[in-house]
Amino acid sequence: MWTKLKKLQNVDDYNKFLDSFETFLFDCDGVLWHGNTLLPRTRETLDLLKKRGKRIIFVTNNSSKSRKSYKKKLESHEIPAEEDEIFGSAYAAAVYLKQVVKFPSEQKVYVVGEEGIEAELDAEGIAHCGGTDPNDRQPMTAEDFETFDQDPSIGAVLCGIDFHFNYLKLCKAFTYLQNSKTLFLLTNDDSTYPSHGKKFPGAGSISSSLTFSTGRTPKSLGKPYSTMMDCIEAKLKFDKEKAVFIGDRLDTDILFAKNSNIKSLLVLTGVSTEREILADDAKILPDFYINQIGDLYQVDDKGNV
Ligand SMILES: O=C(O)[C@H](O)[C@H](O)COP(=O)(O)O
Ligand SMILES: [Mg+2]
């Protein structure tokens, strides 16, 4: 096995890498796709791994979709996947509230986020409000300034990526978080995410408005934190010695792999760059890196399967 940071760049490297692992855990945004566009040869590479008897697990911080919706998205790209092989930060947050917090049935979670969070809370039988409710997607009125107040029935504020974030939601979440007993949870705190070949503000850039205004420090449940791996290991058994995490972000994916004691491969199709990992002051280093995941397919392309 290689001893230091290794760029995979030829068929021998790809073959040696593939032969070193049994379980391949894949981040999604920036590794498999940008938005709804697959990155080059993603499907062929996943198919090659299956042909070689490898296990594939998907692990995404994107809380906008539930595991069910991700299964549909993967299948829409002809990538077969079982719901139990997909782990999203919305799922991790719902499991945490149910199994760790033992969230009281008479309380609700105020959601700053999309249907992914709502669906996973529903699956765990946890009541919620906000989220995709059209009433929360309205401008603040003068009456709202009058009426907004703490609500003891709100036991937690859970914040993820919210493509409809607005001042009204910010004020509601802020108001509920004035009660120190109200839990402040994040599905993830990614500053940005890659889409359409560019970067856009991520969930962490949304929740930072709450962190800054409330002065409270939230608990984040996605990568790089341990809750996500706890969820995976509660469902699936695999040998960590023969597992590798493949991601595009140093501060979430690669750090998650390190925190989970598994090897890591950074792809250069997402957020983190080669310059960052070659810098003298690089703090988080993957074990391997590669230009794009589809390069691994070249072993098949040349018939060297
Ligand atoms: O919440 C966000 O900012 C993005 O959805 C998240 O960064 C993307 O998740 P990934 O699949 O890269 O973990
Ligand atoms: Mg990513």
Give the nearest ligand 1 atom to 187 CA: 1
In a domain, 228, yes or no: no
Ligand (nearest to CA of 114):
1
Residue 59 Cα, ligand 2 centroid: separation in angstroms? Answer: 9
Mutate to test the pocket of ligand 1, among 67, 162, 165, 188 (most ligand atoms within 8 A of CB): 188
In a domain, 177, yes or no: yes
Report d(CA 160, CA 71) in Å as an integer. 20
Whose Cα sits closest to atom 5 in ligand 1? Answer: 62
Mean pLDDT (whole number) for 87-98: 98
Domain count, the chain: 1
Pocket of ligand 1 (CB under 6 A): 27-30, 60-62, 161, 188, 190, 193, 202-203
Report d(CA 137, CA 16) in Å as an integer. 51
Query: Do the beta carbons of residue 66 and residue 115 sit within 8 Å?
Result: yes
Beta strands in 13-67 (DSSP E): 23-26, 33-34, 37-38, 55-60
Give the nearest ligand 1 atom to 205 CA: 3
Binding-site residue positions for substrate: 223
Residue 85 Cα, ligand 2 centroid: separation in angstroms? Answer: 17
In a domain, 124, yes or no: yes
Position 302 pLDDT exceeds 60: no
Query: Lowest mean pLDDT: which of 10-19, 22-31, 293-302?
Result: 293-302
Phi then psi for residue 111, to 5 deg, are: -100, 125
Ligand (nearest to CA of 88):
1
Rg (CA), the chain: 20
Report d(CA 121, CA 115) in Å as an integer. 10
Which CATH number belongs to the domain containing residue 109 in this structure? Answer: 3.40.50.1000
pLDDT score recorded for residue 1: 47
Mean pLDDT (whole number) for 282-296: 97
Binding-site residue positions: 27, 29, 223, 248
Position 97 pLDDT exceeds 60: yes
In a domain, 194, yes or no: yes
Question: Tell me: the pLDDT tens digits for 34-69?
Answer: 999 999 999 999 999 999 999 999 999 999 999 999
Beta carbons within 8 Å of 182's beta carbon, 6+ residues apart:
154, 155, 156, 157, 176
Position 11 pLDDT exceeds 70: yes
In a domain, 259, yes or no: no
Mutate to test the pocket of ligand 1, among 27, 29, 195, 256 (most ligand atoms within 8 A of CB): 29
What sign has the CA pseudo-torsion 159, 27, 254, 92? positive
How much is the mean pLDDT over the chain? 96
Residue 253 Cα, ligand 2 centroid: separation in angstroms? Answer: 7
pLDDT bracket for residue 303 (50, 70, 90): low
Position 164 pLDDT exceeds 70: yes
Give the nearest ligand 1 atom to 247 CA: 12
Query: Do the beta carbons of residue 57 and residue 85 sit within 8 Å?
Result: yes
Residue 304 Cα, ligand 1 centroid: separation in angstroms? Answer: 34
Two tokens, residue 28: 């999604």
Question: Tell me: the pLDDT tens digits for 174-226?
Answer: 999 999 999 999 999 999 999 999 999 999 999 999 999 999 999 999 999 99
pLDDT score recorded for residue 5: 86
pTM of the model: 0.95
Ligand (nearest to CA of 59):
1
Binding-site residue positions for Mg(2+): 27, 29, 248
Mean pLDDT (whole number) for 161-185: 98
Q: Are strands 6-7 and 55-60 parallel, antiparallel or unpaired?
A: unpaired
Position 299 pLDDT exceeds 50: yes
* Active-site annotation, residues: 27, 29
Question: Tell me: the pLDDT tens digits for 232-274?
Answer: 999 999 999 999 999 999 999 999 999 999 999 999 999 999 9
Query: Do the beta carbons of residue 152 and residue 180 sit within 8 Å?
Result: no
Domain residues for the domain of 192 are: 90-220
Whose Cα sits closest to atom 4 in ligand 1? Answer: 62
pLDDT score recorded for residue 122: 98
In a domain, 53, yes or no: no
Residue 25 Cα, ligand 1 centroid: separation in angstroms? Answer: 15
pLDDT score recorded for residue 304: 52
Whose Cα sits closest to atom 3 in ligand 1? Answer: 202
pLDDT bracket for residue 298 (50, 70, 90): confident
Position 135 pLDDT exceeds 80: yes
In a domain, 285, yes or no: no
In a domain, 32, yes or no: no
Give the nearest ligand 1 atom to 62 CA: 5
Position 3 pLDDT exceeds 60: no
